[in-house]
Chains A and B, each alone.
Chain A
Amino acid sequence: MNDLRQCCLAAMVYSLLLAMPPWCQGEDLPSAESVLDRYVEATGGKAAHEKLTNRVTHGIVQIAAIKLSGKATIYEAAPNKNYTAIEIQGLGTMEHGCDGNNSWERNPFEGTRLHTGQEKEHHLANALFNGDVHWRKMYKTYKCVGTEEVNGKLCYKLELETQDGSKHEKFFEKATGLLLLWKTTVKTSRMDVPTESYLDQYRKVDGVLVPHEVKLKQLSQEITITVDKIEHNVKLPADRFDLPADLKKKVDG
């Protein structure tokens, strides 16, 4: 804390340094590139990641504070397809998908809805399979701006911007190189939802380290996703990522 105060004082005195975040003063920060590359290595290395062409994740979604839970199944495939189904007791199944060209969602309240505008751009920009390995394709700007503690662990803080202009902050643990916190804003047609994702319980599956617990803080709620099982390179049905029939009809015109 004293160091920080001294840094702030120095920043006040030496106006030339005002443009720099105070916590950077005197710190020898690595480049963003090296932090991002180190994360790939820490989670198994590029070669191990690139052996994977698709992934199926099974887990549980819990909103403990209000006693709701559900089952989540997530399909991802290269280069940029995904489909998620979350079944919540009393609410039904919330689905989301991206076939590489279009993204959509379906729920018992609204039926199906094709994403358009910034919502579509946002989902397409974030759909890249193994995006962490191919981070150079995902991010158009990236910089390491300092260090911060996340749950008592010292992390490098990176500020990144994806191709659609979305801003992200990622916190990689200094000791292990692992990603512990990701702050971003999920864009929907209704609102931009500020979201904090805390990643924990990294375990090796098929040669790569994967977090098995993610705590999301968004919309005044804490949602926990606990991963039960992860499968890679699974034979998926050919239509797994197809749009729902009514949306396909709409898109095909």
Chain B
Amino acid sequence: MMFVKWLPLSVVGLCIWLLIHPGACLQGEAQEPPLSAQARAKNLESFDFVWTTIRDKHWDPKLGGLDWDKVREELRPKMAEVQSMSEARAILKDMIARLKLSHFGIMAQEELESLDHSSSSKGQGSDASGGDGDVGLEFRILEGKAIVTRVEKNLPADRQGVKMGWEIVSIDGDAIAPLIERIGKSKRISHLGYIQYRVVANRLEGSVGSKANLVFRNGADEEVKVELERVAPRGKKAQFGHMPTIHVRFEAKVLEPNVVYASLNTFFDPLSVMPQLEKLIKENQEAKGFILDLRGNPGGIGFMAVGIGGWFAQKDDMKLGTMYTRDGTMHFILNPRTPSYQGPLAILVDAESASTSEILAGGLQDLGRARVFGTTTMGAALPSVITKLPNGDGFQYAFANYISFRGAALEGRGVIPDQEVKLDRATLLQGRDPVIEAALDWIKEQAKK
């Protein structure tokens, strides 16, 4: 019965580590009733759980010099007095914010319990925020404005004639540019760019069947009013532990001249994604280049970076980086697959690429195996897990630090592209993607060599 000594549990342990930016799964909070005495007690228990977990599991026992006992002395009495769950969550968020690190977050119980919220479980109407209905467009914050960067064919935005490069002026009456500007002036929030992105994204999201009223500014600088119905989100539905339902999109195509382009929106559903990648690599061994688009990918299961990297490894013992926990040091070593792809690899990233995306892109960049295009990533790359608190809320906490192969911590710094390429409205209005174009140009140059 001594099987425990060789169970592949260390691999299981690896696979459950999440490298996803918390904001990717956090949504707005609803109003809630006053707290009962029992609920207040549960909140105190939750406070102690969060405080103790960070004290015992943070990779740095000294917590970077933070006086953790003092934080408890200051905040616990406040938790004893809270009158609502919002106040309780605010205190927990305040406590973890003192660490000034990514991958620490509190997820409301309602959200944790609505794991299967992809159907129309929430009310209809334009205020149905928090659902995962999709209007079929992607956007980025460019120079203080929300600009459409992609329109999915045959989805509501496309059917209503929305084009790349259009500016989102307002959503359901909320003017977007002033909102972005207001957040940009905040001095107490980290990852400002990401917060700006999320507040707009939250307004676009809603339950399937609900409608969003948008005003766009088109290429001729004219305002265009459009009503978009939210439809079932694209991608394969995946479930993982305490995470809300995730829709995973792995899309691949061959661009001229014989360059493979693949995009992944999040690192989940390995049972579907990994075989698709394997097939793609095996069928395109002769491709002139491979473009892996991780723009907007907030991360996911950290071990997928190792798995995907293995398909581009050129030799044994290539290491993406090293993770440091209290228990020891873990090396992210690639297992070279047969046949791995040996040609030029371009990875596309942007400010919304985080965590696992950064580990994969930063590691392959450090190894000299990939050239990275786009803009600097989020700088949020700490391995974490999500657990349930006594009060029912979810608690995400990082328990490890991650250092990329060449010795740089990705946390707070991000992956700096080899070739910075920014999106701009004028190019997008022409239906072009300058980041993909830059990667293609580089691959063509490599082919000439």
Contacts and interface: CB of A to CB of B under 8 A. Distances in A.
Q: State whether these chains interact.
A: yes
Contacts of B387: 65-66
B18 to A, nearest CB: 9
Nearest to B7: A84
Contact of B4 (A107, A111, A113, A195): A195
A242 interface: no
Interface in A76-117: 76, 82, 84, 86, 88-92, 94-96, 98, 103, 105, 107-111, 113
Nearest to A94: B8
Interface stretch (A8-16, A29-37, A215-223): A215-223
Contacts of B11: 94, 96, 105, 107
A218 B335 contact: no
Given A66-B16, A66-B385, A218-B10, 6 more contacts: A66-B241, A91-B301, A111-B337, A190-B332, A193-B328, A218-B9
A131 B3 CA distance: 10
B212 to A, nearest CB: 31
B270 A91 contact: yes
Contact of A123 (B6, B239, B306): B6
Nearest to B308: A109
Interface residues of A, number: 60
B326 to A, nearest CB: 7
Contacts of B1: 57, 199, 210-211
B220 interface: no
Which 9 pairs of residues, A with B, have the shortest CB-CB distance? A109-B307, A96-B8, A219-B13, A191-B330, A110-B335, A66-B241, A65-B387, A94-B8, A220-B399
Interface in B35-67: 57
A76 B268 CA distance: 33
Interface residues of B, number: 51
Contacts of B304: 109
Contacts of B4: 182, 195, 197, 214, 216, 225
B8 A95 contact: yes
Contacts of B306: 109-110
- Main secondary structure on A side of the interface with B: strand
B405 interface: no
B327 A132 contact: no
- Main secondary structure on B side of the interface with A: mixed
Contacts of A246: 338
B332 to A, nearest CB: 7
Contacts of A109: 15, 270, 274, 303-304, 306-307, 310
B325 A220 contact: yes
Interface string B1-41: 11111111111111110000000000000000000000000
A60 to B, nearest CB: 13
A67 interface: yes
B10 A90 contact: no
A126 B6 contact: yes
B381 to A, nearest CB: 17
Interface in A211-238: 211, 214, 216, 218-221, 223, 225
Interface string B274-309: 100000000000000000000000000101101100
A42 interface: no
Given A90-B239, A105-B11, A131 B2 contact: yes
A184 B2 CA distance: 12
Contact of B385 (A190, A210, A221): A221
A223 B330 contact: no
B205 to A, nearest CB: 23
B247 interface: no
A113 to B, nearest CB: 5
8 contacts: A67-B242, A74-B3, A86-B9, A95-B8, A110-B307, A113-B335, A184-B5, A190-B14
Contacts of A70: 12
B34 to A, nearest CB: 29
A84 B15 contact: no
Contacts of A74: 3, 7
A88 B15 contact: yes
B10 A219 contact: yes
Contacts of B385: 65-66, 220-221
A151 interface: no
B16 A221 contact: yes
Given A67-B241, A131-B2, A223 B13 contact: yes
A187 to B, nearest CB: 9
